[in-house]
Each structure stands twice: as C-alpha cells, then as structure tokens.
Amino acid sequence: MAVLTAFSGLGGKSPAAFLLQIAGRRILLDLGEGPTPGQRPDLTGIGRVDAIFLSHAHIDHVGAIDLWPDLGRPPVFASRATFDALPLLDLHLPPHAQHELPLQGPAALLDLPVSTGRNGHAAGGIWLHLQPEGGALYMGDWSRRSGLLPFDLPPPADLVITDLSYGDRDQTLVSQVLELAARITPGTVLPVPILGRGADMAQRLAALGLTPVLCPQIRAEMQGALPGLRCIATPAEARASDVIIAADTERPGDLVARLIDAPQSWRFIFTGHVAPGSTAAALIAAGRGSRQPRNVHPRARDQIWLAETTGARHLIPAFGALDAAPGLTRSLAAIWHSDRTCP
C-alpha cells in the first residue's frame, strides 16, 4: 500500500514537499520555497530519498531544490521545460541529475511505470501518475480552464493529491478577466510567474482592446502570437501610459523589482496569492498595489470532477485548508484525508 507523508503543503499555502513511499521506493514530490518569504519545508527525519519529482517551475514547487545534496543526490525527474527554467529562478541542478519526463504519456521513474499529463497551470507543468499499488496521482498545481495551457485527463487512482488553493471559489475566468480589465489604468504593472498565466493574460487583454507591453520572458512565452505587442527589458524603455505584463522571478534585479524602485510610481495589480510579508503585501499596504484574482488553479466544481474522474478513495487537499472550503468539505467528506500521513 502506498504511504504519503506531507512534510509541507497541507493546511494552507505552503511550499510543496510530499514523500510518497510506493513499491519499495521513496519519492519526494516537489521541493518548494514560499510563498511566504523564506518559508521552506522542514525535512527533519526525511533521510535519503530515491528520486525527486518536480511538477513545474514555480518557486513554491522548486525553490528548495538546493537541498538536493542533503537528500542523497538522487535523480530528479521533470519535463525539459521545467529543467530549462530553473536558471531563470537562479536555481541550479547538475545535468547528470536531470531525468526528463514526457509532457504526456507513459514513462518510467526509476523502475516504476508511470504516466504524465499536462497540468494546465504552467508551461512544462505535468501531473504524475504512479501505477503500482492501486495508483497514486500527484496533480501539483492544475487547472482545466487556463486557455493557452493544455490539460490532459488524469487516469483512475486510489490516492490523489489535489490543489485546493481556491477552496470553494467557483467564479469563471471570463468574468475575472473582465473585472481585471476594468481596473487597469495607464501606468499599471501586472507581475506574473514565469511559464504561467502571462501569455494567456496578454491575449485576453488584447482581445478586449488593451495593448499590453511585455517583458522578454513573457514575449518568449507568447511563441509568436501577437507579434505587434511591444517588448521592454528595462524601466527606461517604459512609457508612463504603458500597461506592463512582466515575469516576477522573486529575485533582485528582475524587471518587476526595478519597476518597483523606478522614479515613476507604477501601480501594481497582483492576480495570484499575496503572502504575508511579501513585496506584494507591502505594495498593497502602501497603496501602490491591489489584488484582483484570476483563476490558474481548480475551481470547486473541478475538485468534484477530479474525484469522480479518478475514483479516488483518498483525496489529499494540498496548498489550501479544508476549513476555508466548507462546501467542498461537505461534498467530498467521505474521501478527504488531511492527516500528515495517509493512509
């Protein structure tokens, strides 16, 4: 029987780090940092692991990969896009440790048969299904509604770790984009994670008659779409009337950090989670920022769909608290499992 231990990622927004013991193997699912600045998983007692799986290249899923030597220098499995993105976040992993998984289809992780599928949350982001012992499915962050980012149907599994970031939220992305567009004024900056919502946001805002300006990273993620959109790499290239979509690597010196410190007082709209103690929280408190949610994680109805699709007997709520999702807690009461260890 598969055994899952949450070293981090249960009970609220915290870095991902789940140890799955299955078919005699010990596999660490993600190794993140944040979203609260400096928040890292407590790996006390974890010992050596046989492998690490990285679901996608966002800080709260990969930001503590520098702990790789402390875990026995195991092979690390991820998509090629995830490995290629690590240096953008100032993270580094030796090439010999990198073992590429396909974006979709059957594969092997060590000697275990697995399958993968695109998670709809980040370019190169994948869910992982391990076939032995009734099946275990790690969704990481996921979305069925992202627009440009494909989502692949996951297979049945007894144990499923899902993304509860939004709790009972069920608002549509279309309505959120309209609300966002109504709040955008000249001189607005929209910080976004790399390989995530930026390209889709640019296309949706352009379709509503806005003309966003892109940083080089988001321009590259557009993959040739809307080539007429202007691209800037430094605050000096920005105009006071611009609406800028910029990749926020959460590292000093990136374009977002430089726009925050620029002489012009840019206004920031954050469309994701705002962690206590973060730069985003400080900007909001100072009156230079605001928050406008935009779905990149599953809505409440998607959780019910996932439970029905996979036939899960144990559904693990990651990155959110069941206390904040009373509707889903009632709807899926028979299969939720929020203890640190399952089963």
Per-residue pLDDT tens digits for 157-185: 999 999 999 999 999 999 999 999 999 99
How far is the C-alpha of 116 from the C-alpha of 168, rounded, in Å? 27
The count of other CB atoms within 10 Å of the CB of residue 80 is: 13
Model confidence at 66: pLDDT above 80: yes
| pLDDT value of position 64 | 98
Contact (Cβ atoms closer than 8 angstroms) between residue 174 and residue 299: no
**Which of the listed CATH numbers 3.30.390.10, 3.40.50.620, 2.30.140.10, 3.60.15.10 matches domain 3-168+296-342?**
3.60.15.10
304: tokens are 């019910």
Mean of all residue pLDDT scores within the chain: 96
Residue-wise pLDDT tens digits, 209-249: 999 999 999 999 999 889 999 999 999 999 999 999 999 99
Domains 3-168+296-342 and 173-291 share a fold: no
- Percentage of the chain with pLDDT > 90? 94
- Report how far apart, in Å, the C-alpha atoms of 239 and of each of 42, 187, 212, 245, 258 are: 44, 8, 12, 13, 14
Question: Is the CB of residue 6 less than 8 Å from the CB of residue 96?
Answer: no
Domain range 173-291, its CATH number among 3.20.20.70, 3.40.50.10890, 3.40.50.300, 3.30.230.30: 3.40.50.10890
**Partners of 291 in beta bridges:** 270
Q: What band does 124 get if pLDDT is binned at 50, 70 and 90?
A: very high
Residue 220: count other Cβ atoms within 10 Å of its Cβ. 15
**259 has a pLDDT exceeding 80:** yes
**Does position 250 have pLDDT exceeding 90, yes or no?**
no
Q: Amino acid identity, residue 122?
A: A
Residue 153 has pLDDT above 80, yes or no: yes
**Domain layout of the chain by residue ranges:** 3-168+296-342, 173-291
Question: How much is the average pLDDT of 302-320?
Answer: 98
